[in-house]
Amino acid sequence: MNITEMHLAVQQGVDKINSFQADTLLSQEIDLELNKAIDKFVNLKYGKNNQYGKGFEESQKRIDDLRNIVVDEELEVLYIEEIVNDVFVYRTATIVGDDMILYHNLPKDYRYLINATAVIEHNKSCTALTPEQQQLLTEVQGVTERVSVKFVQQDDIFSILADPFNTTKKTKPLITFGNKVIDIYTNDIFIIKTLKLTYIKNPAKVSLSLDVDEDDVNCDLAEHTHQEIVDMTISSILEGISDPRYKTHQNELSKNE
């Protein structure tokens, strides 16, 4: 459905036969309710707070529901410092102009992390790198690999780094999330080149434009989800106007997977 068709479907669902009750709903109010339903839909399909207790990628239906808003982004990293003996921190950042460091925020449309991988580099013999190589001042000219990373809580990072069995390693570097940046931890064997995030982005805010000079904004979720979103919107509106059909409509809505 495009946004015009979604509006018509909502109006038809809310309106009683020949009562024209939906005529009291403004276009902006329908947009607001649709966007609330879209946000709720994404949260339900990602998490396990639903009647089936299944989260994203735990069933084919969940994968297909959110496939249109799964995106990849490769982030550059810079060497920051050595925090303890032979443990180094890299941060999602880039150099702009002459030595001006711009730390990367998480992508503006970021909502939920699905997976993260890093491109690492090390010597063929896996021997210790020189300080110049560790600080990305000279090339390693060794083996480049893409590996999975492991997320660690901020209050656990130092105790885990001190644990020889769980510390950061080239097969599974450790990362922590800050307010605006991601830190990646290495040892003296390998360096980080880039960090790739696979995440669920914020869905588009739908809008039916009343101005001929502005474009409509359609729902960017998969086509098969649009009717379910419309049904959720109708249910929310019926509840808001205390319509006795709300309970019946809610029972029908609960049949959606």
* Residues 245, 223 share a domain: yes
From CA 184, how far away is CA 81, in angstroms rounded? 11
Numbers of helices and strands, H then E, in the chain:
7, 9
Contact by Cβ (8 Å): 164, 76: no
From CA 74, how far away is CA 77, in angstroms rounded? 10
* Residues 194, 78 share a domain: yes
* Residues 194, 100 share a domain: yes
* Residues 171, 76 share a domain: yes
pLDDT tens, position by position, 109-131:
999 999 999 999 998 888 899 88
Task: Please say if the pLDDT value at position 6 is more than 80.
Answer: yes
Task: Please say if the pLDDT value at position 4 is more than 70.
Answer: yes
pLDDT tens, position by position, 236-256:
888 877 655 556 656 655 655
Task: Please say if the pLDDT value at position 105 is more than 50.
Answer: yes
CA nearest to 74, candidates 200, 246, 199: 199
**What's the number of domains the chain is made of?**
2
Domain finish residue from 201, 217, 237: 201
From CA 209, how far away is CA 161, in angstroms rounded? 53
Residue type, 205: K
From CA 10, how far away is CA 230, in angstroms rounded? 6
- What is the predicted pLDDT for the residue at 17? 47
Higher pLDDT, 9 or 55: 9
- What is the predicted pLDDT for the residue at 21? 58
pLDDT tens, position by position, 218-238:
999 999 999 999 999 988 888
Classified as helix, coil or strand, 44 is helix
Task: Please say if the pLDDT value at position 150 is more than 90.
Answer: yes
In which domain, by residue range, is 43 found?
3-67+204-253
184: enclosing H helix or E strand = strand 182-187
- Whole-structure pTM value: 0.83
* Residues 52, 113 share a domain: no
* Residues 117, 38 share a domain: no
Beta strands at 174-177 and 100-103: parallel, antiparallel or unpaired: unpaired
Residue 29 confidence class, pLDDT cut points 50, 70, 90 = very high
